[in-house]
Structure 1
Amino acid sequence: MSPPFAPARRWLALLLLACVGLSCQGLPRPRPVGDPAALRYNITYVREPEHALDVEVVLARGTPRDFMFSGPGGVDTVHAWREDGQVRALPVREGAVSVPGGTRFLRYRYALDARIRQEGPDFFSGMGEGDARHVAGREYLIRPRVVTPELRVELYVEGADALLPWLPEDSGLYRLRGEDLVDSGFHGFGGRRCQARLPDAVLDVAILGTFTHLRDADVCAWLKQAAEEVRTVRSAFPHPRITVRVVPVPGRDGSSLFGMVRWSSPPSISILVGKDTEAAAFERDWVAVHELLHLAHPVLVPRVPWLSEGLATYYTEVARARSGRQSAQRAWEELLDGFARGRQWSGARTMQEAVSGSPYSLGVYWTGALFALHLDVELRRVTGNKRRLDDVLDALATRGSTSTFGAFGEVVDSVAGQPLFDALLARHLERPAFAEMDALLEALGVRADTAGVKLVPARDSLLREAVDGRRTRGATD
């Protein structure tokens, strides 16, 4: 087998051969020298005649021969090249490709614009305007079916300023672990850049399109405010650096419309924002802080949507009150409105039944938020208001970026100083959804009538005030 990197003249000849039938835009600029034992991805962002991603995968010695797309459907043929110039077209079947022996590298095209026409604008398959595009890495990056712990990966992008989840070297080369290919997050190409800086973190932001009223500085100020609100929940921002892609949506006004987190390492976030949004609309926005609050807890494996969404939904209102962006009364109005909608959706179902269907139902979000509130209050009650749900999230962070549902409960009991989690969970799961709500709100002094929500003295009103009171990072109740 030839050495991992062929001599320069042979490599140039291979590049010329690889351009046959793939509408290359001339030879790429010299690429940084990498690790010859790493699986190498050379990605070229193509603008003409349509936006596309040309991907070349240089195989290293010992690279597995079974490959797959985690998000199949965007590529139907991969070309396998031998060093002698022989090429073979490999069909992609159900996202899988078997690479023949002697293959030196793979080439294929992910036709971004054609995919957008086929599927419609989508966070995963592609969206964007002008020269800017958004796509999920899982859609266009082929990867080994089995990723071993020792697999090293290099990724190099040319043709556009890219914002990927990882921090590149000065040469534009990304050095990754093999597992980074399993969930490769959201990727942005082109557009404009700004940064939101915190004392302990930075948010690198790509704006993938144009707004009619917003400046780039307005976008980063909005994201910085949301990130600061996360710091009212955690003792430090959960990651030293994350990336956020903001995609303007034509023909829509208001503020942000939808967001999503991908659990790449570090996590990557993307948010849709109405093209005609004005900066003042961000004062009422909740989407950015909700998505950022997902970073406040580790990834639960396997997933428990009602807990992860419930935590983020509960803290979305609490954090905005703690920062002063909304009043305590407004926070409770929002929570009660959500509880009412969740209760109406759940009907006579138990919480267990309400959360067993779609992970995006009102039952998942709002029964989860009610449980998070109840858990926070009980932790404060049994510890004399000295410990809280925030402490659970901080303690979990010391254990790593992933956790389990069982470990979550163990940390709750440790913070409480006594068994708490399982008994409280049983009270919720086994009874009709929201059965615990009325007594809990009454004890907190949160009352609703035709005139609206009132906050009144009650048995646990001091706990309520500790939950929603103004604070800055590091402040105690």
Structure 2
Amino acid sequence: MRCLWGRTTVLMCVCLTFLWPCCIGCAQDSGRHWRKEQVVASQSFVEGGSTIQVDFAAGDLDLSHSDIVTWVQASAHSVAVYYGRFPVARARVVIEPIAGDSDSIHGTTWGGMGGFPAVTQIRLAQHATKDDLKDDWVMTHELVHTALPDLPDDQHWMEEGLATYIEPIARAGTGRLTEARVWAEFLHEMHNGEPERGDRGLNETPTWGRTYWGGAMFCLMADVSIRRQTNDKKGLRDALRAVVDSGGGIDKDWPLSRVLQIGDRTTGTTVLTDMYAKWSEKPVDVDLPALWKELGVSAGPNNGVVLDAKAPLAAVRESISASR
């Protein structure tokens, strides 16, 4: 299960432990009580070679079902473009309205539920607007989770770190975000993943910052390192596409070593395996200011960025956030 509660500058995790094939089970009172809601409408579409079923639970929404399916489809398209296809053959997205709420969007994704390789539950505010959906990152984040095999609890940072890192890049790849917005988020948030006193490495430090942004920092550094070693001919995207092409999706239980070895073999490097050996069991400090300077990313007005096309790694930065 990949679980996610919401993010402005903070990500939190809500653990929902069961989803019925024909209804939604929502854990309450620490799992002692279940609320089941019948699905009242369903639509399907094909994206990236996969069929995605969108089910609507009972409850009122200001948005039309068509508006919501369009949002799911745009998110699925971003993920399919990043991976070269949608990661699993069939997926189910269940929309559960949050009565009286104005703007909340929360998500959780499971593998191998009710006959589907991937099932995503989205709790959507009753009064959410088209603008809320246009700016949303949660749906894309959740669908990115479908592309990685289920990992042990101490490697949850890899699951959430990948989704945190890939989500804005995937949206930029289909024109839903600008390159500047991708790097503004990384510049202003990546520091949350830095190790603090008492850190014992990513496998042993399951804090919010290390799980989401520590994992994302691992992905960024791996992407940059692969591109440095291959003269920008390969990147993390190539490694992750190879995992999907090898059958690695959320419905599979693979050791992380298998994922990393597939990625390294595809890129012709040992970046992922070497980095995991160092980052998993002990803290690794990253000189983020130096990295941003090399990539040509500096702070701009209104929490934005200024991008330097003449920076040493400007081409790498552009490759990371491009659709190719």
TM-score bracket for this pair, using the shorter chain length: 0.7 to 0.9
Contact 1:428 1:435 in 2 (8 A): no
Question: Which residue of the partner structure matches residue 468 of structure 1?
Answer: 321
Distance across 2 between alignment mates of 1:307 and 1:273: 26
* 1:282-320 per-position Cα deviation (integer Å, ceiling 9, x unaligned): 111011000000112222357611111111110011111
Contact 1:196 1:223 in 2 (8 A): no
Please tell me the residue identity of whatever aligns with 2:204: S
Question: Which residue of the partner structure matches residue 258 of structure 2?
Answer: 407
Question: Which residue of the partner structure matches residue 390 of structure 1?
Answer: 237
Distance across 2 between alignment mates of 1:435 and 1:259: 30
Question: Which residue of the partner structure matches residue 307 of structure 2?
Answer: 455
> Which of 155, 171, 174 is the equivalent residue of 1:304?
155
- The alpha-carbon deviation at position 274 of structure 1 amounts to 0.6
Question: Which residue of the partner structure matches residue 145 of structure 2?
Answer: 294
Distance 1:126 1:427, change over 3 A: closer
> Which of 176, 188, 197 is the equivalent residue of 1:348?
197
Contact 2:294 2:313 in 1 (8 A): yes
Question: Which residue of the partner structure matches residue 260 of structure 1?
Answer: 108
Please tell me the residue identity of whatever aligns with 1:365: Y
Contact 2:295 2:313 in 1 (8 A): yes
Please tell me the residue identity of whatever aligns with 2:306: K
Runs of 4+ in 1 over 6 A off after TM superposition: none
- The alpha-carbon deviation at position 434 of structure 1 amounts to 5.0
Contact 2:52 2:91 in 1 (8 A): yes
Distance 1:207 1:422, change over 3 A: same
Contact 2:239 2:264 in 1 (8 A): no
SS in 1 for 2:83: coil
Between the two proteins, what is the percent identity of the paired residues? 26
> Which of 421, 428, 431 is the equivalent residue of 2:272?
421
Distance 1:450 1:347, change over 3 A: farther
* 1:50-75 per-position Cα deviation (integer Å, ceiling 9, x unaligned): xxxxxxxxxxxxxxxxxxxxxxxxxx
**Larger Rg: 1 or 2?**
1
SS in 1 for 2:92: strand
**After superposition, where does 1:38-437 map in structure 2 within 5 Å?**
123-124=16-17, 133-135=23-25, 189-254=38-103, 256=105, 258-264=106-112, 265-300=116-151, 304-343=155-194, 346-350=195-199, 352=201, 355-358=203-206, 361-401=208-248, 402=252, 403-426=254-277, 428-429=279-280, 432=283, 435-437=286-288
Contact 1:262 1:269 in 2 (8 A): yes
Q: Unaligned 5+ residue runs, structure 2?
A: 1-13, 28-35
* 1:356-381 per-position Cα deviation (integer Å, ceiling 9, x unaligned): 244x6121110100111111122222
TM-score, scaled relative to structure 2: 0.80
- The alpha-carbon deviation at position 193 of structure 1 amounts to 1.2
RMSD in angstroms over aligned alpha carbons? 2.8
Please tell me the residue identity of whatever aligns with 1:377: V
Contact 2:50 2:88 in 1 (8 A): yes
- The alpha-carbon deviation at position 455 of structure 1 amounts to 1.2
TM-score, scaled relative to structure 1: 0.56
- The alpha-carbon deviation at position 235 of structure 1 amounts to 1.2
Please tell me the residue identity of whatever aligns with 1:294: H
The answer to which structure has the higher helix fraction is: 2
- The alpha-carbon deviation at position 426 of structure 1 amounts to 4.9
Distance across 1 between alignment mates of 2:225 and 2:19: 44
Distance across 2 between alignment mates of 1:436 and 1:295: 31
SS in 1 for 2:101: coil
Please tell me the residue identity of whatever aligns with 1:263: G
Distance across 2 between alignment mates of 1:429 and 1:393: 19
SS in 1 for 2:159: helix
- The alpha-carbon deviation at position 462 of structure 1 amounts to 0.2
* 1:223-258 per-position Cα deviation (integer Å, ceiling 9, x unaligned): 0000000012211111221111111111211252x1
Q: Unaligned 5+ residue runs, structure 1?
A: 1-120, 138-186, 472-476
Distance 1:122 1:429, change over 3 A: closer
Distance across 1 between alignment mates of 2:96 and 2:152: 29
